[in-house]
Structure 1
Amino acid sequence: MILVTGVTGVVGRQVAHLLARTGPVRVLARRPERVTVTGPNVEVCAGEYADRPGLDRALNGVRAAFLVTNSATEPDDERFAAAAREAGVRHLVKLSMLAVGEPGADDFITRRQRENERAVRESGLDWTFLRARTFMSNTLSWAPAIRSDGVVRALYGTSPVACVDPRDIAEVAVRALTRPGHEGRAYALSGPEAITARQQTARLSEVLGRSLRFEELGLEAAREQLLRKYPRPVADAFLESAERQRAGAKAQVVPTVREVTGRPARPFRIWAADHAEAFGRSQG
């Protein structure tokens, strides 16, 4: 049995969907009613990382697990790894971030992810880290303004990032979960091109068949926007990350998706076409 966490997020959901096509999969969810992965091969377990009895139930009989954690303060990786070890799980595949392996990245979120990786590495379990670049799906945050005003507002519109399709991350995860030889590996995952927010806006305009306008979001406006959603250390970390992107630190393309899955990573134009409905129906 394979256990998948983070199934209400874009990567965990795709991992569970892919696994359910070929065999049984168990998913852990704090709110089971929000799980959209269904079918005869899917077993849903209610629980969360701080709920040890719930973790124990979910991990019973599990040989490998896909781990996604999001809290900037809770020791969720330590909790999960300890419970997994006691349950006899052999392999953890953890979703991480590419900045973890980059010496110039020292923001709050990156430091926390390094600590999380260390907890998994020191757990005694076999592990695989999926160090992903920015998700293409992050541009879904632009959808309301695109639908209402035909505008994209973002910080540093000419800063390139080799963003990655979450479906590609999920396919790498499934390979690591179901095939031998991935233990002890830290995979850097990017898309096939470095693309800016202005270029992403142009791709979306082509897909939707209507004109879109890009507006540069000033630093203070971006800060205020982030602080409405996140605590200050997290908001500051996002801004530090944006500065690294502005300096070109996120533009490198790596071939890992092709090396692991046997096919090239999907470009942003493909992701955009496949998610056009979220931004408004195409007129073409």
Structure 2
Amino acid sequence: MILVTGATGTVGREVVRRLPEGVPARLLSRNAASAPVRPAHEAVVADYGDDASLGRALAGVRTALLVTCRVGEQDDVRFLRAARRAGVERVVKLSAAAVLDPLADDLITRWQRDNEKALRDSGLEWTLLRPRSFMSNTLSWAASVRSERVVRALYGTSANACADPRDIAEVAVRTLTEGGHAGRSYTLTGPAAVTPVEQAHHLGQALGVTLRFEELTPERTLAALRTRHPEPVAQALMASALRQRDGAKTQVVDAVRSVTGSPARPFRVWAEDHRAAFGPEPAGAAAAHGV
């Protein structure tokens, strides 16, 4: 039995879609109704802060994909403690490429380093997946692209070797279902570093329109982040953006190919495959939104 945590999230949902037919899997999320259940799968609701619910979710599980997102919380420690009690043998953890950067000392990166150490010290067989930023982060541009044909972002000429979540999921599935990955760490990137300006260009080509790029100031960006995140997290994200501006996120690693046998997808392909998310809303959507 494989347990997929974060089964409704960006990577978890893609992992579920790619698990081999007939492989038993339990899909953990905070809302089981939204989990993408297939034959041989079951959806469960659990909370990292609830040991009893974790115990039920982990019963009979041999291998688990661990995804956590509450920065600063001890969710990894709680999960690993429950996993040991349940007899889990192997945990594949979704971490972040920034942990390898000696100059990265923000809250989020320190938290991920601590989480990695907790897994390595757990006594369980482990594998670490360290992706660069997700290409899907550009979905945050959808509203302005749709209504104004504008992309707004910070540091437009700063490059990031961002990864397609589908490639991250492909690697995760291999490490969950195959041998030979114990004690391994994989840095996952796209095939080239791209800037926000270049991403806007590729997205415009996919849509068949010309998109204008408007660079945000750091002040405006921080103000927007503060509306969505606690102050320490907002500051950590700004520190991450500064490292990107200074070239810290340009390195390309060919781990996707080495693990899956297929090359990593470029941003251009991601944009073409997701252009519907940036196009006109379906008929009736305005009424549904009360517009």
| TM-score normalised by length of structure 1 | 0.97
Q: Show the counterpart of 1:269.
A: 268
Q: Provide, for residues 108-146 of structure 1, a one-character-per-residue CA deviation record: whole Å limited to 9, x for no partner.
A: 100000011111111110100000100000000000111
Correspondence 1:20-31 to 2 at 5 A: 21-31=21-31
- 1:185 lines up with 2:200 in the alignment: no
Identity across matched positions, percent: 57
Check the 8 A contact 2:96/2:132 in 1, yes or no: yes
Structure 2: how far apart are the matches of 1:252 and 1:281?
Answer: 35
Of 158-167 and 39-48, deviating more is 39-48
Check the 8 A contact 1:67/1:93 in 2, yes or no: yes
Provide the secondary structure at the position in 2 that maps to 1:8. Answer: coil
Q: Show the counterpart of 2:3.
A: 3
Instruction: Return 5+ residue gaps in structure 2 as ranges.
Output: 282-291
Structure 2: how far apart are the matches of 1:41 and 1:221?
Answer: 47
Provide the secondary structure at the position in 1 that maps to 2:92. Answer: strand
Q: Provide, for residues 59-106 of structure 1, a one-character-per-residue CA deviation record: whole Å limited to 9, x for no partner.
A: 111110000000113200000001111111110000000001111111
Q: Show the counterpart of 1:161.
A: 160
Question: In angstroms, what is the RMSD of aligned CA positions?
Answer: 1.1
Provide the secondary structure at the position in 2 that maps to 1:43. Answer: strand
CA shift, 1:22, in A, is: 4.1
Q: Show the counterpart of 1:117.
A: 116
Provide the secondary structure at the position in 2 that maps to 1:93. Answer: strand
Provide the secondary structure at the position in 1 that maps to 2:206. Answer: helix
Check the 8 A contact 1:160/1:195 in 2, yes or no: yes
Q: Structure 1 segments of 4 or more deviating over 2 A?
A: none
Q: Provide, for residues 237-283 of structure 1, a one-character-per-residue CA deviation record: whole Å limited to 9, x for no partner.
A: 1110011000111001001001110010000011111111000059x
Q: Provide, for residues 210-238 of structure 1, a one-character-per-residue CA deviation record: whole Å limited to 9, x for no partner.
A: 11110000010001000000011100011
CA shift, 1:156, in A, is: 0.1
Check the 8 A contact 2:146/2:280 in 1, yes or no: no
Name the CA shift for 1:26/1:20 in 2 (closer, same or farther; >3 Å): farther
Structure 2: how far apart are the matches of 1:6 and 1:40?
Answer: 19
Instruction: Return 5+ residue gaps in structure 1 as ranges.
Output: none
Letter in 1 for 2:128: F
Check the 8 A contact 2:162/2:189 in 1, yes or no: yes
Check the 8 A contact 2:22/2:39 in 1, yes or no: no
